[in-house]
Amino acid sequence: MSNIFYLPRAQSLPGAKLTFTISGTTTPQNTYQDVDLTTPHANPVVADASGYFAPIYLDPSLPNYRMKLTTSADVLIVQYDDILATPVLNGSFTGNLTGFTATSTTGVKWAKIGSIVVVTIEGKTGTSNATSFTLNNLPDELVPLSTFANCAIPPGIDNGATATDCSAAVSSGSNVITFSRNASAFGWTASGTKGISNTTITYSLV
pLDDT digits (tens, 9 = 90+) for 93-103: 999 999 999 99
Cβ-count burial 104-137 (b if 16+ within 10 Å, e if not): bebebbbbbbbbbbbbbbeebbbebebbbbbbee
| Domain boundary pick from 70, 86, 102 | 86
Q: d(Cα 195, Cα 28) in Å, to the nearest integer?
A: 40
CB atoms within 10 A of CB 96: 16
- pLDDT value of residue 5: 54
- Say if residue 95 is exposed, middle or buried (CB neighbours under 10 Å; 0-12, 13-18, 19+): buried
- pLDDT value of residue 53: 81
Q: Are residues 69 and 101 in the same domain?
A: no
- List per-block mean pLDDT (blocks of 10 residues) for the chain, which spans 206 residues: 50 81 96 88 89 82 92 90 77 95 94 82 96 96 85 92 93 94 95 94 86
- pLDDT value of residue 96: 97
Q: Are residues 134 and 56 in the same domain?
A: no
Q: Which domain holds residue 19?
A: 1-86
- pLDDT value of residue 88: 63
Beta bridge partners of 108: 93, 121
- pLDDT value of residue 7: 54
Which one, of 142, 137, 134, lies nearest residue 111 by Cα?
Answer: 142
Q: Are residues 95 and 178 in the same domain?
A: yes
* CB 184, CB 133: distance < 8 Å: no
- pLDDT value of residue 3: 54
Q: Are residues 14 and 103 in the same domain?
A: no
Q: d(Cα 95, Cα 153) in Å, to the nearest integer?
A: 17
Q: Are residues 70 and 106 in the same domain?
A: no
E strands present in 88-147: 88-98, 104-113, 116-121, 124-127, 134-135
| Domain boundary pick from 61, 86, 111 | 86
Q: Are residues 113 and 195 in the same domain?
A: yes
Q: d(Cα 59, Cα 45) in Å, to the nearest integer?
A: 15
Q: How many domains does the chain have?
A: 2
- pLDDT value of residue 78: 85
Contact partners, residue 161, CB within 8 Å, separation at least 6:
none
| Domain boundary pick from 86, 117, 149 | 86
Q: d(Cα 44, Cα 17) in Å, to the nearest integer?
A: 6
Q: d(Cα 33, Cα 38) in Å, to the nearest integer?
A: 8
